[in-house]
Amino acid sequence: MKVALKIAPAATHVAEGAHLWTPPAERASAAAVEHFRYWVNARLGLDLPDYDALWRWSIDSNDAFWAAIWRYFDIRSDTPYARVCSAREMPGALWFEGARVNYAEHLLRHESRSPDAPALMHASELRPLESTSWRELGRRVRIVAEKLRALGIAPGDRVAAYMPNVPETAIAMLATTAIGAVWTAASPEFGARTVIDRFAQLAPKLLFVVDGYRFAGEDFPRDAQVSEIVAGLASLEHVVCLPYLQPLDAPIVPGALRWGELIEGPDVSVAQFRYERVDHDHPLWVLFSSGTTGLPKAVVHSHVGILVEHCKLTAFHVGLRPGSRPMFYSTTGWMMWNVLLSGMLQGATPVLYDGCPIGPDPAVLWKLIEQARVTHFGTSPSFAQIMQKDGLQPRRDFDLSALEMVLLAGSPAMPETFAWFYDEVKPELWVTSQSGGTEFASALVGAVPTLPVHAGEIQSRLLGMDVQVWNEQGVELVDQVGELVITNPCPSMPIRFWNDGDGQRYRDAYFSTWPGVWRHGDWIKRNARGGSYIYGRSDSILNRYGVCIGTAEIYRSVERIADISDSLIVCCELAGGRFFMPMFVKLRDGGALDEKLREKIKRQLRIDCSPRHVPDQLYAVDDIPYTLTGKKMEVPVRKLLAGWPLEKAANRDAMQNPAAIDWFVRFRSDNRVMLSS
C-alpha cells in the first residue's frame, strides 16, 4: 500500500493525566482478570469488588494469591510444592519449593489443543511473512532438543545464541529450556567484545550463531565477529551455524554444525518426548543488564518463577488469549523478546520481525500489523514519536481492524504519544505503558484492561507487585516524585547473579539503600487513583541546587518543537558546589541552532516546566547515543563530561549508534577547562 508522508507540525500539548479512553463495559467484563476475580471470590469465599481490591488482596495475602495463580493456570509439576514462599524477605525468598516444572512444556502445551493453528508468525527484511503451526513448531523443538541431548547437553549446561529475531532462535530457546539447559542470547548487532563479556561469565557449552543479518536494506556479515566470539569462549564444545545471509554457503566456523543438520531427523512424538522438569530454583535463562558501563550483570531467573509470573502477565495485564497475535518490536538481546514468546502460554501467536522498524520503508511495521492481523502491538515511545514527527497516519493508510492494544515500553511515554495513537491509529484502542525490567523479565506497573486510560499514565501496579514510592527517609509518597521500591518479594525476582557466590553483588545492586527493600532505580510518581508516571532512571535525575528534575519531562517539552528531532540533557557537578546543565539537541534535516531556536527552546521549557528546567547551554549534535535496548545514554555522557575515559564511561558495542558518542568525546576535550573549573 502506498503511504503518503507529510512533515507534521509541533505536537499538540496534552495535559498529563487527561482522560483518553474507558473500556466498554462488555470488553471490561470479558477480560481474563475479571474472570479471575470472580473465580477467586467463588473459590475462596472472598468479596473483592474491583481491581483495586484484587490488587490489595494479592499483596496482603500474597501466598494465597500465588497459590491461586498456580491453580488457575493448571501448572504441571511432577511433585506438589511444599509451600508457596519460604519467607517474606529479600533477597532469599524461595518459591514453590518441592515443585518440579518446565517452562517450555507450558509454552508448547497448546500443540495438543490446536495443532494446525499458527503458533508463530514471522517476517524479516530477508523473508516474507510466514507462519509455523503448533504441530510443526513442537516437532522441530523436539528434534532439536534430542539432538542437543545427543551432543551431551545436560540440565544446567549453558547454551548461548548470537542470533536474530527469527523462528530458528525461538526453536533453539524452547529446545534448550525443554531439556533443562540454561539459555542466554545476544543479538547479532552486538560487537564481539560485548558478547564475550556476557557469555564468558557463563562458560557456555554450545553456541548458536548466524552468518549475518540485514538492517535498513544493508547486509551485515558477521564472520569476523563470530570467529572472535568462538575464540574467546574456551568452554565451547559445539557451534551450530544458521546460514541466513548466504543459505548455501559452508558454515562460517570450521567444523560447526549447520542448522539444517540439527533440524533434520526422525520425528519425536509428544508421547515419546520427555521434558526435563526441574527444581524450583533451577535456572531457566540468564538475561543481562544493558552493560553501557562495566561488566553486564548476569541476571538468573528460575523456571517456576518466570512461569507463574508470565502466566499472570500475559493473561491479566496484556489480555492475550487463544488466537491473539502479539507483536513487539525487539531484538533477541532484550527481555521483551522473552516476554513476546511467553504469549504462547495463553495460546497466542507471537509475530516476529527482524529488521529496521523505520527504514528504508517508514511504514514497514504498520504493513506487517495489517498483513498479520496483529492484535497487540508493543513498541517504544521513541518509535511513536518518529511516526508522529514524520506525519504517518496509520488509521488512514492501513486496515487496523484487528488491533486491540498498544503497549509502550523501554522508556517513559509522553501524554502526546498516547494521544497520537488515539488520533492517528485507532480511537477504540487500549493504549498503555509499562515499566519493569530485565531483573523481573516482566512489568511492575503497567496495563489493566478494566481501567480507563489517562495521557502518559501507567494504569496501575500489577497484581502481586508491592510497588511503593519512597522519599530519601523511606516515607511513602502520593502525588510526589520519589524512588520506586518493592517491599515484598515476587517469584520472578532474580534467584541470583551468575558467579556471585555470596550474593554480595546482588545485594549491592538493589538492597544497599534500604536493607530488605528493593530499590529499583526508577524515579516515579503515583497518584491518588493508583496511576503511575515514570520520570527516568534515578541515577540520571538532574539534581540542580538540591532540586531534583526528571529528564523525561524536559524531553517531552523540547521534542514537541518541530525543528528538534531528539535531545539529551545531563547535569554536571563542578568545583565549589556549582552545576553545569547542558542540553544536546539533534536537529531535523536542514535545521540550525540559531538564536531564535535557542530562545524558543528556553521559552517552551519555562512555560511547560519551570525556569529550573532551562539548560545552561544548548549544543547541536550529530546524533543522540542510545543503548541497544533504546535508552538514552544520559549516565555515560555525564561520566564522559566528568572526565571518565571513554572505555570506562561507555561500551560502544552496547550502543545502537556507536559513532554518536564520539561527538561527546570531542566536546569534553574542547571544553576541558570549563568542565573542570
- Per-10-residue mean pLDDT of the chain, 677 residues long, equals 38 83 97 98 98 98 98 97 95 96 97 95 96 98 98 98 97 98 93 88 98 92 94 97 86 91 91 96 92 74 98 98 96 93 98 91 94 96 80 93 93 86 96 92 97 96 97 93 94 96 93 95 91 79 58 81 91 70 90 92 81 87 86 87 84 84 90 71
Domain end, chosen from 502, 526, 550, is at 526
Same domain, 350 and 486: yes
Same domain, 319 and 352: yes
Same domain, 615 and 519: no
CATH code at position 565:
3.30.300.30
Would you say residue 56 lies in a domain? no
Would you say residue 665 lies in a domain? yes
From 238, 182, 168, 170, select the one nearest 206 (Cα to Cα): 238
- Extended beta strands in 424-531, E state: 430-433, 435-437, 442-446, 453-454, 460-461, 467-470, 481-486, 496-497, 518-526
CATH code at position 410:
3.40.50.12780
Q: Where are the alpha helices (DSSP H) in 425-513?
A: 504-510
- How many domains in the chain? 2
Same domain, 298 and 434: yes
pLDDT at 4: 38
The single-letter code of the amino acid at 659 is A
**DSSP structure class, residue 278:** B
pLDDT at 190: 82
Same domain, 520 and 553: no
Would you say residue 582 lies in a domain? yes
Helix pair angle (32-44, 62-72), 10° resolution: 110
Beta bridge partners of 137: none
d(CA 638, CA 616): 15
Angle at Cα 192 formed by Cα 187 and Cα 193, nearest 5°? Answer: 120
Whether a cis peptide bond, with omega within 30° of 0, leads into 23 is no
Pairing of strands 158-162, 182-186: parallel
Would you say residue 250 lies in a domain? yes
Same domain, 476 and 501: yes
Would you say residue 187 lies in a domain? yes
Specify the residue for cell string 510518581: 525
pLDDT at 201: 96
pLDDT at 333: 87
**DSSP structure class, residue 301:** E
Domain end, chosen from 526, 554, 586, is at 526
Same domain, 112 and 255: yes
Would you say residue 479 lies in a domain? yes
d(CA 365, CA 501): 44
pLDDT at 1: 40
pLDDT at 290: 64
Same domain, 273 and 390: yes
Same domain, 501 and 558: no
d(CA 254, CA 75): 43
pTM for this prediction: 0.85
Tell me how crowded residue 499 is: count the other CB atoms within 10 A of its CB: 12
Same domain, 599 and 560: yes
Contact of 430 with 448, CB cutoff 8 Å: no
Same domain, 435 and 386: yes
Angle at Cα 322 formed by Cα 422 and Cα 446, nearest 5°? Answer: 45
> Within 13 Å, how many C-alpha atoms sit on residue 22's CB side?
4
Domain end, chosen from 501, 526, 551, is at 526
Same domain, 492 and 556: no
Would you say residue 31 lies in a domain? no
Angle at Cα 550 formed by Cα 547 and Cα 555, nearest 5°? Answer: 130
Would you say residue 647 lies in a domain? yes
Q: Which domain holds residue 114?
A: 103-526
